[in-house]
């Protein structure tokens, strides 16, 4: 209660905050023309009569022009998830998250809804498709919520193949799997099968899973392989297998979920403005030093080059740049021994070339053998110029609220059914699953030097002076 009263003193009253939303919609569209904010209300009925002077807040979708422009230069996929609000009134914040060529996450659209159901998801997806993600062939990564399924499978929603494709977070699939089959080893085998980039590797892990219990494979076979396995995604995932909603909330929207709704919505504008400035400066500085590709790609290529020394290359077709690459020393992981590589079609039997859209260790070996540069086989989103284009369009300083246009509609009030319990400790809305369990085999590490076997208090790296000062 004290926390909520403190927040109310700083950010305003919760109830009055809902009536600030219509003016915010007008203000943000005046600040940044092209901003999208769709506010839905429901009528207030008193003794069977509609009170036209008031309206219940129902839903709000919003996004900003820099986010819309940024998505054009991101990977052609969008992660979708929802998170609960923790303030005086309940609700759910839905977020669409994109990823740039440097593997940075970027929220591109938001919605405040009453909860996760088919109607709220349809509201979110319809405006997301209309205003932010009109591109064809887009991949939507989400959990297996029935509301998401209904929204994406609507005939007129624009989310059916070939306009768009769907995939599941493997962590959610594994969590559902663990509800039926206990034991972390079996879950690990399922995850390994999902991450496999080739059918041969998938069959390898799946056969081990079948030897554990054939029922496990029967459970997995009930889900279409294209929805949860990497070797059947046709390269649409960019190896993006798990959820990043928690990372997005923690890094960009930290602390906003317990704010009054108007302050929450305003915070997305300020936080995104800071993010675009910071990431834009980083990309511009890297371009200024002559870098051609993102740091993420450079690290991956350097790691692949270290392994590429262990291969022998044979050229089979000079015109089509087709090779075989044989391992001369074991790589220590799942291996076929010999791989076929086609630089012309950008494929390799290991599956990495197709999945990640940049040369794998075998393709790099073939490039070196043919004396051609590997840079021509990298997808353009990994270029530092593309990363800079994501953050090129900045935000405009917000117009002070005193200059916002007047609002002459009905007073927007919160739905009383969404009011949280007035007394006692708030009940946790988190649904804890096996994803929240800590690994018992993981050694505890010192919080200072990060080495196992001791704690921060007994760390040998702490000098005598600091120990004396601590006492």
Which residue, chain included where needed, has tokens 């859209």? 357
Q: What is the DSSP letter of 409?
A: S
Q: How far apart are CA 187 and CA 61, in angstroms?
A: 37
pLDDT for residue 456? 77
pLDDT for residue 420? 78
pLDDT for residue 467? 43
pLDDT for residue 465? 39
Indicate the length of the chain as a whole number. Answer: 471
pTM above 0.75, yes or no: yes
Both tokens assigned to 471: 């006492």
pLDDT for residue 428? 58
Q: How far apart are CA 270 and CA 409, in angstroms?
A: 27
Both tokens assigned to 279: 């990431």
Closest CA to 7 of 275, 269, 262, 247: 262
For residue 315, the cross-strand partners are 323
- Contact at 8 Å (CB) between 75 and 99? yes
Sort 450 into a burial class: Cβ within 10 Å, 0-12 / 13-18 / 19+: exposed
- What is the chain's pLDDT, residue by residue, as a tens digit (471 residues)? 777 777 778 877 888 999 999 999 999 999 999 999 999 999 998 888 888 899 999 999 999 999 999 999 999 999 998 888 888 888 999 999 999 999 999 999 999 999 999 999 999 999 999 999 999 999 999 988 999 999 999 998 899 999 999 999 998 899 899 988 888 888 999 999 999 999 999 999 999 999 999 999 999 999 999 999 999 999 999 988 876 666 677 677 888 888 899 999 999 999 999 999 999 999 999 999 999 999 999 999 999 998 877 788 999 987 778 999 998 876 666 778 899 999 999 999 999 999 999 999 999 999 999 999 999 999 999 999 999 999 999 999 999 988 888 888 899 999 888 887 665 665 555 555 555 555 556 677 787 677 788 887 888 877 643 444 444
């Amino acid at each position: 209660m004290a926390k909520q009263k403190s927040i109310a003193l700083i950010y305003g009253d919760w109830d009055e905050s809902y009536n600030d939303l219509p003016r915010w919609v007008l203000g943000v569209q005046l600040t940044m023309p092209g901003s999208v904010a769709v506010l839905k209300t429901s009528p207030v009925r008193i003794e069977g009569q509609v009170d036209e002077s008031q309206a219940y807040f129902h839903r709000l979708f919003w996004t900003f022009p820099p986010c819309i422009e940024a998505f054009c230069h991101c990977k052609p996929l969008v992660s979708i998830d929802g998170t609960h609000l923790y303030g005086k009134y309940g609700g759910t914040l839905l977020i669409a998250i994109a990823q740039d060529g440097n593997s940075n996450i970027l929220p591109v659209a938001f919605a405040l809804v009453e909860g996760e159901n088919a109607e709220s998801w349809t509201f979110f997806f319809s405006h997301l498709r209309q205003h932010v993600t009109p591109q064809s062939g887009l991949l939507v990564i989400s959990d297996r919520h029935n509301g998401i399924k209904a929204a994406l499978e609507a005939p007129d929603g624009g989310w059916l193949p070939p306009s768009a494709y769907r995939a599941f977070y493997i962590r959610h699939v594994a969590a559902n799997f663990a509800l039926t089959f206990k034991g972390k080893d079996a879950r690990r085998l399922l995850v390994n099968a999902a991450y496999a980039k080739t059918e041969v590797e998938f069959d390898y892990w799946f056969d081990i899973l079948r030897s554990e219990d054939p029922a496990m494979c029967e459970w997995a076979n009930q889900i279409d392989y294209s929805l949860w396995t990497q070797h059947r995604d046709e390269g649409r995932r960019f190896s993006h297998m798990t959820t990043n909603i928690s990372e997005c909330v923690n890094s960009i929207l930290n602390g906003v979920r317990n704010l009054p709704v108007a302050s929450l919505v305003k915070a997305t504008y300020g936080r995104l403005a800071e993010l675009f400035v910071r990431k834009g400066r980083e990309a511009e500085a890297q371009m200024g030093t002559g870098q051609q590709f993102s740091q993420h790609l450079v690290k991956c290529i350097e790691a692949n080059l270290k392994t590429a020394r262990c291969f022998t290359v044979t050229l089979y077709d000079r015109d089509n740049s087709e090779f075989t690459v044989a391992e001369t020393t074991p790589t220590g992981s799942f291996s076929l021994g010999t791989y076929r590589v086609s630089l012309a079609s950008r494929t390799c039997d290991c599956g990495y070339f197709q999945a990640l859209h940049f040369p794998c260790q075998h393709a790099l070996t073939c490039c070196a053998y043919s004396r051609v540069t590997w840079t021509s086989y990298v997808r353009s989103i990994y270029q530092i110029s593309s990363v800079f284009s994501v953050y090129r369009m900045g935000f405009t300083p917000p117009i002070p609220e005193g200059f916002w246009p007047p609002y002459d509609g009905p007073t927007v009030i919160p739905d009383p059914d969404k009011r949280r319990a007035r007394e006692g400790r708030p009940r946790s809305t988190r649904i804890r699953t096996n994803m929240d369990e800590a690994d018992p085999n993981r050694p505890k590490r010192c919080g200072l030097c990060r080495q196992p076997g001791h704690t921060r208090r007994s760390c040998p790296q702490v000098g005598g002076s600091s120990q004396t000062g601590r006492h």
